[in-house]
Amino acid sequence: MSTGERRRVTIADIAEEAGVSVPTVSRVLNGRMDVAPETRGRVEELLQRHEYRRRGTPKTGQASLIDLVFTDLDSPWAVEIIRGVEDVAHDFGVGVVVSAVHSRATAERRWWQNVQARASDGVILVASHLHPKLEAQLRRHPPTVVVDPAGVPTADLPTIGTTNWSGGLSATEHLIGLGHRRIAVISGPPRLQCSRARLDGYRTALDAAGIEPDENMIYQGDFYHESGFAGGQKFLALDEPPTAIFASSDQMAYGVYEAVRQQGLRVPADISIVGFDDLPEARWSSPPLTTVRQPLAEMGMLAARTLLRLVRGEEVETLRFELATQLMIRESTAPPRGA
């Protein structure tokens, strides 16, 4: 702990030096009995030697800090997640330091130095593609919880996700229920689990309804607007175009809206569209978008609660939590023409 005397000593520092886990140190701090006496003695000695002072509870007027980390802050998800995390943190008197790793390697190093210097009590990481070395460093940091709307596989850390497969299923079932049979899908990048899960939900719904799969009805997008537009154009140019499209992100759904508009067609009279995300704009699009809601704010809240439990040294029951998606039916879907 070479810089231990200059910067604030954290629970993680103590744990490392004592050769025990962070929760063990927390248990000692919380006066819990389930710590071997010898371990407790070693930890308490280090706490004293380094003059560890708890980044306290609201009672003592001393606020704790947690870090909330994004790859970049231009994700449309960011503000919803911040809102959920802040809501819980506020009640606990905990400050939320929001940062973005940014993409350049030097920026990553700088960001990591900043996180360490802050000596926050824990980290909520919004899953993304971190440099593997940085990800390994984060695993050794004080408690970390991952919020994972995208389905980036992250080993060994408690992760809050959403039920992507069920979401894809319910979107497609809704279209089938309206009488559609030629239903296309615009999927996300295949490297993300959430893309695969949403696509599998789509396939399962078709299969359950006895609809033959058709590879012409699948377009691989990347969740961004342009790929939704390109997918929409491709589908509308088919000899036998689909009567409905499930775009597996809201942004891609807006891209399809624009392709439909440029053809002089109408949503939903000529074609039905379902999205995935339910960011606030979905209500303001024209027509308002039928979409699968990811409960991003609630995911942020659960992440904060889980992290604060870990900081207190409590155990969590499972490494993977999934919150349910919900289909929000608005005006972009209708029965197909002639149905």
Comparing CA positions, the residue from 19, 64, 7, 8 lying closest to residue 45 is: 19
**Smallest separation, CB 201 to a copy of itself (Å):** 24
Q: Are 82 and 96 in contact (CB under 8 A)?
A: yes
Residues 6+ apart with CB under 8 A from 144: 122, 123, 124, 125, 138, 157, 158, 307
Alpha-carbon gap, residue 169 to 206, rounded angstroms:
9
**Quick one: which of 20, 23, 25, 86 contacts a copy of itself (CB under 8 A)?**
86
**Smallest separation, CB 80 to a copy of itself (Å):** 9
Give me the DSSP letters along 70-108: ES-TT-TTHHHHHHHHHHHHHHHTEEEEEEE--SSHHHH
Q: What are phi and psi of 123, to 5 degrees?
A: -130, 135
Pairing of strands 290-293, 326-328: antiparallel
Alpha-carbon gap, residue 139 to 136, rounded angstroms:
5
Is 83 an interacting residue with respect to a copy of itself (CB under 8 A)?
Answer: yes
Q: List binders of a copy of itself among 44-73 (CB under 8 A).
A: 56, 58, 60-63, 65, 67-68, 73
**Quick one: which of 17, 281, 314, 322 contacts a copy of itself (CB under 8 A)?**
281
Which segment (35-43, 79-87, 194-202, 238-246) binds a copy of itself by CB under 8 A?
79-87
Is 3 an interacting residue with respect to a copy of itself (CB under 8 A)?
Answer: yes
Q: Are 123 and 115 in contact (CB under 8 A)?
A: yes
Is 263 an interacting residue with respect to a copy of itself (CB under 8 A)?
Answer: no
**Smallest separation, CB 69 to a copy of itself (Å):** 11
- Between residues 173 and 250, which has the closer beta carbon with respect to a copy of itself? 250
Structure tokens at 285: 């699009």
Beginning with the edge strand found earlier in the chain, give each strand of the sheet holding 290-293 in spatial order: 218-220, 183-187, 244-247, 272-277, 290-293, 326-328
Comparing CA positions, the residue from 98, 92, 109, 49 lying closest to residue 69 is: 98
Q: Which residues pair with 99 in a beta bridge?
A: 69
Q: Which residues pair with 159 in a beta bridge?
A: 146, 320
- Between residues 96 and 303, which has the closer beta carbon with respect to a copy of itself? 96
**Smallest separation, CB 214 to a copy of itself (Å):** 27
Q: List binders of a copy of itself among 12-31 (CB under 8 A).
A: none
- Between residues 93 and 189, which has the closer beta carbon with respect to a copy of itself? 93
**Smallest separation, CB 31 to a copy of itself (Å):** 20
**Quick one: which of 202, 223, 235, 254 contacts a copy of itself (CB under 8 A)?**
254
**Quick one: which of 153, 283, 319, 324 contacts a copy of itself (CB under 8 A)?**
283
**Quick one: which of 156, 284, 317, 338 contacts a copy of itself (CB under 8 A)?**
284
DSSP single-letter state for residue 308: H
**Alpha helices (H) in the chain, listed in sequence order:** 11-18, 22-29, 37-49, 78-92, 105-118, 132-140, 164-177, 193-208, 225-236, 250-262, 296-311
Q: Could you tell me how many residues of this chain bind a copy of itself (CB under 8 A)?
A: 57
**Quick one: which of 200, 288, 322, 335 contacts a copy of itself (CB under 8 A)?**
288
Which segment (108-116, 161-169, 301-309, 313-321) binds a copy of itself by CB under 8 A?
108-116
Alpha-carbon gap, residue 110 to 104, rounded angstroms:
10
- Between residues 68 and 197, which has the closer beta carbon with respect to a copy of itself? 68
Q: What are phi and psi of 236, to 5 degrees?
A: -70, -20
**Quick one: which of 32, 42, 44, 95 contacts a copy of itself (CB under 8 A)?**
95
**Quick one: which of 39, 50, 116, 263 contacts a copy of itself (CB under 8 A)?**
116
- Please report, as ranges, the residues that interact with a copy of itself according to CB under 8 A: 3, 6-8, 56, 58, 60-63, 65, 67-68, 73-74, 76, 78-79, 82-83, 86-87, 90-91, 93-100, 102, 107, 110-111, 113-114, 116-118, 225, 251, 254-255, 257-258, 260-261, 280-281, 283-288
